Amino acid sequence: MATTADFRNGMVINVEGDLFLIVEFQHVKPGKGGAFVRTKLRNVRTKAVLDRTFRAGERVEEVRLERKEMEYLYNTGDIYYFMDTETFEQVPIPVNLIGELRRFLKENERVSILMHGNNPVGIELPFFVELKVAQTTPGLRGDTVTGGTKPATLETGAVIQVPLFIKSGDTVKVDTRTGTYIERVAQ
C-alpha cells in the first residue's frame, strides 16, 4: 500500500478494481480545510483519462507492471499475436487492449507489452515509428504559402495529415502519441 505522499508520474495504482497510471498530480493545501492531492489518471486498459481527488495521506494500492519486449506477428480479426523475444512464445492480445495504437502497428515491430502477473493489460509503442505512405494525392505546385497539408494513407491503414511535398512511396516519421507527422525519412 502507498499513500498520496508516494505519488509520482508513471506510477500505476488500483482504483476501484481498475488499473490507472498517474499522468500528473498536484498537492494542494488550501488555507481552510484539509490538504488534498489532485490527480489526472489514465486507465491502463481503455486509455480513458480521469480527474480524481484524494485526501492527503489516503492509502491506495500500488501495482507493479512488468514491461516485456515482444514482436508483433499478425492479427486475425480482433486478436493480435505477439511473440516473446526471449522464449519465442506467442501471446494473443485482444484488440480492446491495443486501442488506437493498432493504427501504427506493423508486422515484425518490437513493442512493450504491459503485464500484470501473467496477464497482458496494455501495449506501448515506441514514441516514433517510420511508415511508408501507401497513397496520397499529388500536391499542387506553388500551393505552399500557408504550409498546407493533405491526407495520406500509411501502410498500416492509418490516415494522417502530411505536407504537400510528400508523395506515395515516401517514408515518414510519425509520433504515435499524437498521430502526427514529424518528418520525411531519407531513403
115-118 CB contacts, 8 Å cutoff, 24+ apart: 115/65, 115/66, 115/67, 115/68, 116/19, 116/63, 116/65, 116/66
The domain defined by 128-185 folds into OB fold (Dihydrolipoamide Acetyltransferase, E2P) (2.40.50)
Q: How far apart are the first and last CA of the chain?
A: 51
- pLDDT by residue (tens digit) across 141-167? 655 556 778 899 999 999 999 988 888
Shared fold status for 2-63 and 66-124:
no
Going by C-alpha positions, the residue among 94, 160, 111 that lies closest to residue 131 is 160
What architecture is the 2-63 domain classified under in CATH? Roll (2.30)
This prediction has a pTM of 0.72
Tell me, what's the pLDDT at 143? Answer: 56
3-state secondary structure 89-112: CEEEEEHHHHHHHHHHCCCCCEEE
Low-confidence ranges of the chain (pLDDT < 50): none
Q: Where are the domains of the chain?
A: 2-63, 66-124, 128-185
- Selecting from 2.40.50.140, 2.40.30.10, 2.130.10.10, 1.10.340.30, what CATH number does the domain 66-124 have? 2.40.50.140
Tell me, what's the pLDDT at 81? Answer: 94
